A and B are shown apart, each in its own frame.
Chain A
């Protein structure tokens, strides 16, 4: 197995773990944690392809990963702000109890 295949398999496993967490947990914060894991798995793919790709000196994959990290930070801030706002409104973060869109 080439090193790249190993990194891709780890990223696939991490993505699936994050997806399972996002789909099965009840706490909204844990769902966000699952989404963060999925984003990180994608970043690992980008960096691995940058490292073993034909032109690493062009820095394309590295730049994509760095911008992705910045966007993920913005996503985490807004997502956790929304969770806090929902908790203040509904007094719960249990997603199974949030079954209406009207406030």
Chain B
């Protein structure tokens, strides 16, 4: 049954830009996928490991800036700068994670905000990183490797491939020891440690992986949009969107981030076109309200509610009355 659902879903995703083939619709699809990639990356540390990062934009920015710095200063194709972005992201994750993942979760979350802001300020004031103006990519594509396409269609399929890889990786982690340990740590870190799970270390692994994958999302963004500046690459709104999409769809669930992206990205496009500039403020008021509502009523997100309803619909397995 599940396999059928996966097959249908996959066909739908692959066929979407061919069926909905206007430039706007294709671009929207690519955008949904790009955000799903970022949110899925966040999900690894925020959903599975339960460590709530609200400064993940810093890793996104590492990827975006890594790509465009390589182009601007080394003349390389932006995507060739991906390893640099990933490396810096991992370094920053270690600086944040090593001291704070030994302590209660609050320190970690506070540190992610502070470091994200720190990096944004540094970048905005550093000339060779573009300062407040930002950096641009190649104005005309030089080779295919520049990945500079006029249509959104190639990006769409590129992002499908990357998202599938990330979901596949997450699926594999879920089933491995680290996946079990992360879930246990999320439920009770004390108990997990008493059973031999080196909690700080596993949380750090999850954080570093999440940071690296988020950098990938940032590099893809730079490649598609050909531009990044402190606001679009490192701004708090990127962090917010990653968190809200994963949490709304279902943090800690495999497809939660994708569900969240599918719901929120079109909604935001819609509200932008309806309300225009004035709407910008209101959109984030709405985001704040949504985040609060998730926290208050359904921290597990939409998918979790769906799963629970499905479980209720199924008859419960017979449980022996006499409990040991």
Co-assembled chains A and B: no
Residues of B bordering A, CB below 8 Å:
none
